[in-house]
Every structure is written in C-alpha cells, then in structure tokens.
Amino acid sequence: MKPWRHYAVLCVFLSFGVALSVRVLYLGVTEHDFLQQAGDKRSVHKAIIPGMRGMIYDRNGEPLAVSTPVFAVSTNPMLAKFRESELRQIAGAIGKTKQAIKNSIEKAKARGRGHVYLQRRLSWGKSNALEELDISHLKLEPEYQRYYPAGEIAAHIVGITDIDDIGIEGLESNFQASLRGHSGAKTVLRDRKKNSIRDLDYLSSPKYGEDLNLTIDLRLQFIAYRELKSAVNSHQAASGSLIMLDAKTGEVLSMVNQPSFNPNSDDRLPNRMRNRAVVDAYEPGSTIKPFTALAALESGLYTPETMIDTSPGYLWIGKKLVEDPIDRKRLSLGQSIQKSSQVAFAKLALELEREAVFDVLVRAGLGNYVGVELPGEVYGKLSSAQLQSKVGRATLAYGYGLSVSPIQLAQAYLTLASHGLKLPVSIIKSTVQRSTERVFTEQATKDVLAMMEMVTAREGTAANAAVAGYRVAGKTGTARMIGANGYDDERHIAWFAGVAPVSDPKIVMVIVINEAKSGRSGGGKVAAPVFARVAERSLRLLGVSPDKTGVELAHAAAKNAAAPVGVGGRG
C-alpha cells in the first residue's frame, strides 16, 4: 500500500471525527434545551401518588371502613397493538375474556381516546402476575379500594363508595369532603418498557383523608342486626328497622335495617340499600299515647290515677267510630296506657285544649328534622290542620293522621328517658358539649315512664318486652297501612318503643316491623320480643347493673317465660 493512501484514509477518519465532535458540541450548546426536553419526554414521567381515604371507626376503635391498595390496568388504544397471545395472557391475569378486552380497546380507539381502563381494583397478586408478563403499552396505576369489615351489619350507616372511591351512600357520601384524600405527584425516570428506575423529584405530597369516629358500638350493632333479621324472617315481614340511643347523651348506639346489603359486593339492589330508619316514615299508632298522657298531666286536670269511663267500649265522633276490643269500663290514665284503650285517649283528646296534644308532639321533636347527619332524612308529617275537627284531634291522640320516621320516634322517647330534656341525636363522636333544652317537666315525664312500665307487666300489651332483672317502660303500636282504597285491615306496621332501665335510663330503643305475614301483626307480639332480646344482652354488655339480683332474677325470668300475652287494645 502506497504511503499517501494511508495518510489519505487517516485524514478522512480524522476529518469525520472532528466534524462529529463539532456537531455534538454545536448541538450541546445551541440545541441543549430542545434535546433535553425530547429526552425527558421519553424517559421522565409524572406519576400520581393516590391519597388514601380516611377510615371510619366505631366508638371503641373497631374499623368499619378501610382502604386497601389495588391497581388499575390501562392502555393507550392509539399505540397498543397487542398480539392474540398477549390478549389471552392479559385476559387470564385480570379475569376477563379476550374478546371483552379487545372490544374495550377498539371502542376507545374509535372514539379517539388515548386512555382506556381494562380493569379496575386489581389485587396485588394479580397485578404482580400481570407485570411479569412484560407486555408493552400496558400500564398499572396504583389506587385504593374501600373494604367494610362489618359487612351487612353496618352497611346502611357507613354506606359505600363508587369505582372512583367517591362516597355515594351513607356517611361515606355525607362526609365525602373530609374523608376523601388528595393525590400527590412525583417525577420518575423510566426505561423503554415504562418500568420506574428511580424517583427524581416529589412535586407534591399526598394528603390523607380525615378519619371518622362514630357513636355506634359494633357489639350492640351485631346483636341488633341478628335479632331484627331473625324477627323479620320468622314473621315473614317485608322490612324492619331498629334504633338504639344512649339515654344520657343521645348518641346512636346501633341502627339496623332489614333487608340489608353487602357493601363489599357489586350485587346491590336499591330496595336493600334504603336506610329505612331514617328515610321512611309511617303512622306511629299507639306509640303516641304516652305523649297524649303527658299533655293530660300538663293540663293539671289529670293524674295517673284519674279515672276515665270507656263504657260501652266504643265512641261515636260524628260519623267516626272509635272502639276497643272489649268494654273495659272505667280505667285510670295509667291503665289506659297499659291496655292501650282507643276510647280513653279519644275522650282525653276532646276534653283537653285543642292544641294540647299537638304542642307536646312538637316539643318532643316530631314533624321536624332530627339532624342525625345521615343522607335522605325524612321530615315526617305533623300538621295542625287536623285540629280543626274533633275526629282529627281524637285520631292524633292515638297515633293516626301523622307520620314519623323511626329516628324521630326514638328522639321523642329520648325526651321521656332524659326526664324532659331534649338532647341532640348524634352518630358522630364528638368531645364538644352540645346544647340541651328542657321541653317537659321532670315529674311529668317520670309519671309517664311509670305508667309505661305497666305496659310491660303481665297484664299489659307488651309483657313480651320485659327483661329479667331490669325495669322496662315501653309502648306498643299497631298501625294499619294505607292501600289503594284507604286503610288496609290485612297489612300492619308493628311498633315498640321502650326505655330501660326505668330506675336510671340507659338506652332508648325503637323497633318497627312492616307487614308481618305469619299470622301475628301486633306490636306486642312482633316488635316487643325483639326489644327484650336486644335490651337484655345490650344492658349487660354496657355494664348496667340489674334492678334485681340473685333469686329475684331467676324468679322474674321464670315468671316472664310462663306469662301469657295480655289482651291488648289497638296497640
């Protein structure tokens, strides 16, 4: 090889190297920003850090709603070109059919979308299996899924969230603003397969939602749920509700409904999701009679011993016939409650001032919102218009012509248990002292409780509500439902509202069971036994000492077990 050729080749390579170096230097100086941005677009990405939703606890710190980390599987329909084998692998990993995945991608692509979810709320195990497939253009995004440890037991109170973790029912909905978390963001360096290599910078930190502490006691909630469900099933009833309040504070200790639903399942029927204790209103029937008696005591014309002549067992008010099952002749005011005499209370209402009963019901909280911070609370119906007629005044006195929700009736009975104080009803635990208002005199409410205690005695309409060892005051109610042609004699609402123990009230409980079809429909036979079973276990769990001990307890239990149900009135 001639020497000049060697030097010629060497010069060519040196010239090429110099030119390349100059070009690199030129681009590094003049095009630095452009090249940096172009490189970052391919390797540096913004990643969302989801903010966890706040937890919901019962009064003892038991979790009722928690958030668990999951993943959302997505892709860009404009870039993704999955092979048939890859589609089968994806389908097997996320639990869908290959055709369903293909349809989702094609539909999003036809609409010009650059993002489509193939699956939401994928578990960690499945997401790891999917990640190991190493399929291009398949993205796993972290998110949270709500889980409810108590399941059906607290479903109506806690509620649920939707696929985007937004509350849509119950407290999850009402406290969405405080419970929801706020996402943060960070920049990450990724390889060509979109795998994160390292975090480059944190743009903003995620903010976790605030926790919510309830007044509910999950132990009592379970007892109430079990007994109400058993009663609704055994009586072949359409539905039922139970509310228990703390007589000292107005806090909701338990609130259950039947039918219920599983908040951890997607199979949820609207009819089962109704929090009937708050959103449904019914005529209360004879559960209103203690308040009519309270109006009589306030008038100064009556005492618990004042006699009322109910002969001959019926009363005509214009064209309206009010009647008792039998002629009870003369009854004291206390006995009128014990036997639930319609005639006695109709006469009572007509002898009192026109607005006396109505005024007591208003002060007890009926016809107004309770404000328990659960969505959909119903107002109920209580109008002074019916006071214009004698029939309206009489029917109001024994619980017709108005409607109340179970939570409203529970608040009304709370005023009796608190000896005349109107306490705020709450379901959110708070350390702030809430204001109270005296609406009735202490002595009058104590007299009413004493008369209501006769209802649960052997001769009363609610002997089945008695709790061995504890003094119980209560009132039954049996109201006919309204059908296409007025009141339906075949369909009834069975009520029981009670307070225990009378000596020092701790709990107020209201039970309502709708359309029992087992042959029994009265509040004393359908609702009262539920009260007894729930109250007995609840009082012991709450550490409430019995009014009687030892031999007295055993004797009372045997007596109540053997006692026949007394002949009642309309209650």
Q: Report whether pLDDT(210) > 80.
A: yes
Q: List, for residues 141-160, the tens digit of each pLDDT value.
A: 888 999 999 999 999 999 99
Query: What average pLDDT does the segment 510-537 reach?
Result: 92
Are 504 and 224 within 8 A, CB to CB? no
Q: Report whether pLDDT(500) > 90.
A: yes
For residue 182, give every residue at least 6 positions away whose Cβ sits within 8 Å of its Cβ, in sequence order, or none. Answer: 51, 206, 207
pLDDT score recorded for residue 370: 95
SS3 category, 122: strand
Are 219 and 150 within 8 A, CB to CB? no
pLDDT score recorded for residue 563: 44
pLDDT score recorded for residue 195: 55
Topology, domain 47-213: Penicillin-binding protein 2a (Domain 2) (3.90.1310)
Q: Report whether pLDDT(192) > 90.
A: no
Q: List, for residues 256-305, the tens digit of each pLDDT value.
A: 999 999 999 887 888 899 999 999 999 999 999 999 999 999 999 999 99
The model's pTM: 0.85
Measuring CA to CA, how many Å separate 201 from each of 141, 204, 343?
Answer: 18, 9, 80
Q: What rounded mean pLDDT belongs to the chain?
A: 87
Q: List, for residues 115-134, the tens digit of each pLDDT value.
A: 889 989 888 888 888 888 88
Topology, domain 218-261+275-562: Beta-lactamase (3.40.710)
Domain residue extents for the chain: 47-213, 218-261+275-562
Residue with tokens 């007299």: 447
- Give ∠ CA 544-509-399 in degrees, rounded to 5: 145
pLDDT band at 550 (very low <50, low <70, confident <90, very high): very low
384 labelled catalytic: no
Query: What average pLDDT does the segment 487-511 reach?
Result: 93
pLDDT band at 487 (very low <50, low <70, confident <90, very high): confident
How far apart CA 55 and CA 149 sit, in angstroms, is 11
Are 338 and 448 within 8 A, CB to CB? no
> At 209, which amino acid appears?
G
Share of the chain above pLDDT 70, in %: 86
pLDDT score recorded for residue 442: 96
Query: What average pLDDT does the segment 526-532 reach?
Result: 96
Give the β-pairing of 437-438 and 421-422.
Answer: antiparallel
pLDDT score recorded for residue 43: 59
Q: List, for residues 243-253, the tens digit of each pLDDT value.
A: 999 999 999 99
Q: Which of 286, 336, 426, 521 is catalytic?
A: 286
For residue 460, give every residue at least 6 positions away whose Cβ sits within 8 Å of its Cβ, in sequence order, or none. Answer: 338, 339, 454, 566, 568
Give the β-pairing of 196-204 and 184-190.
Answer: antiparallel
pLDDT band at 433 (very low <50, low <70, confident <90, very high): confident
Q: Report whether pLDDT(1) > 60.
A: no
Are 261 and 273 within 8 A, CB to CB? yes
Using CA of residue 479, residue 485, residue 489, residue 491, what is the dihedral sign?
A: negative
pLDDT score recorded for residue 126: 86
Strand partners, 487: 482
pLDDT band at 135 (very low <50, low <70, confident <90, very high): confident
pLDDT score recorded for residue 45: 60
Q: In 3D, which of 393, 397, 405, 410 has the Cα closest to residue 354?
A: 393
